[in-house]
Amino acid sequence: MKKEFLQKFHNLGGFAPFKWANRRRPVVLTYHRFSEEKISFHTSVDEFTAHLHYLRKNCTVLPLKTIIDLIDRGEYIPANSVAITIDDGYLDAYELAFPVLWDFAYSATVFAITDFVGGKIWLWTDKMRYAIGETKMNELRISFGDYGTIEMKLGGEVYKDADKLNSLLKKLPDDEKERKIEEIANLLDVAIPEIPPAEFAAFNWEQAREMDESAVFIESHTVTHPILTKIDDHRLKLELTESKKVIEKELDKNAEIFCYPNGSLDERVRNAVENAGYKNAVTTDFGFVDPRGDSFLMHRMDAQNDVLDLAQSVSGFESFKRKLRK
């Protein structure tokens, strides 16, 4: 659907019937990275501010935990309720998103990777972005076993090039994935530092405490952000229980909500999350929250940068279009 037509449709109130029809179905929005200016794979401060202005005018922004508690108690959920979530724990969530949320007096939930926040690791997906950005090579040729040999021309957009590799790395067992990252870095003649550079850095626990005390609540996103379906039972339990313990120790609170890395899960992973003592978990599956659904399979909606795209999602028009395409 062309943008011009969609904008006119929105201006004429075309989303309104969808918004009314879905008014009792909460939305959980997902953000990841923030930036001062508009850059790929980030939400700029201006874009985030525009989002919150739209939500203030059209929705009821509530903490995720409040929506969960209302569902659990079977109580009235305000019309067009929206919760804001931010994944991973990057420093820009603290430096850029937190001040905007503060200005609007809005709550959010940040799903933090505890070893990342603790300064022990950086995210494996970012290692590829760093390597692609730093290499002097013009091309890459590497075998991915069953997935064939990958040949790539380099020098284009760093995030897009890196994410082609990351999409394949996600399919590998965790130990094999780490070896493949080292192999790619060596082929690109790039040494990956132990500590992530500023562009890929996390906030620290002091900053996490400041946010958590100001209604930008910290919840669990594992210890090291592995693909949970690709690790064994022992490692799975460790990732779930240790991240919970660290958050509870550092922030003196109960960690109750979990976020699946990459949205990857199966029945084994879902049950392990429940057994680890969490009360709820969110996925990356697109859709409204079903108050009658599985509390460990809560859907979310990716917050697209354009306000028009945001309006489509929270109204339910995007869901309607997706059903038509099936």
From the list 46, 108, 48, the residue with the least C-alpha distance to 82 is 108
Q: Return the pLDDT at 48.
A: 98
Main-chain dihedrals φ then ψ at residue 324, nearest 5 degrees:
-65, -30
Q: Residues 149, 204: one domain?
A: no
CA 40-46-52 angle, to 5 degrees, is 110
Instruction: Show the domain range for 152.
Output: 124-187
204 and 310 share a domain?
yes
Residues 248, 209: one domain? Answer: yes
Same domain, 154 and 206: no
pTM equals 0.95
HEC string of the chain equals: CCHHHHHHHHHCCCCHHHHHHCCCCCEEEEECCEECCCCCCCEEHHHHHHHHHHHHHHCEECCHHHHHHHHHHCCCCCCCEEEEEEEECEHHHHHHHHHHHHHHCCCEEEEECHHHHCCCCCCHHHHHHHHHHHCCCCEEEEECHHHCEEEEECCCCHHHHHHHHHHHHCCCCHHHHHHHHHHHHHHCCCCCCCCCCHHHCECCHHHHHHHHCCCEEEEECCCCCCCHHHCCHHHHHHHHHHHHHHHHHHHCCCCCEEECHHHCCCHHHHHHHHHCCCCEEEEEEECCCCCCCCCCCEEEEECCCCHHHHHHHHHCHHHHHHHHHC
Give 21-78 pLDDT, tens digit per residue. Answer: 999 999 999 999 999 999 888 999 999 999 999 999 999 999 999 999 999 999 999 9
Q: How many domains does the chain have?
A: 2
Residue 148 pLDDT: 85
Q: Does 195 map to a domain?
A: no
Comparing CA positions, the residue from 188, 255, 171, 267 lying closest to residue 221 is: 255
Of 190, 175, 207, the residue nearest 136 (C-alpha): 190
47, 143: one domain:
no
Residues 234, 107 share a domain: yes
Residues 255 and 294 in one domain: yes
CATH number assigned to the domain comprising residue 222: 3.20.20.370
Q: Is the pLDDT score of 250 beyond 90?
A: yes
Residue 194 domain-assigned (yes or no): no
109 strand-pairing partners: 85, 217
Read off the pLDDT of each residue in 183-206 and give the average, rounded to a whole number: 95
Q: State residue 325's pLDDT score.
A: 82
Instruction: Quote the CA–CA distance of 106 and 108 in Å, as a whole number.
Output: 7
Statement to judge: residues 181 and 146 lie in one domain: yes
Q: Are residues 240 and 317 in the same domain?
A: yes
Q: Is 192 within a domain?
A: no
Please indicate, yes or no, whether residues 182 and 282 belong to a single structural domain of this protein.
no
Residue-wise pLDDT tens digits, 129-187:
999 999 999 999 998 888 888 888 888 788 888 988 999 999 999 889 999 999 999 99
Q: What is the pLDDT of residues 216-240, one digit of tens each?
A: 999 999 999 999 999 999 999 999 9
* pLDDT, position 1: 61
Write down the mean pLDDT value for the chain.
95
On whether residue 314 sits in a domain, the answer given is yes
| 169 and 316 assigned to the same domain | no
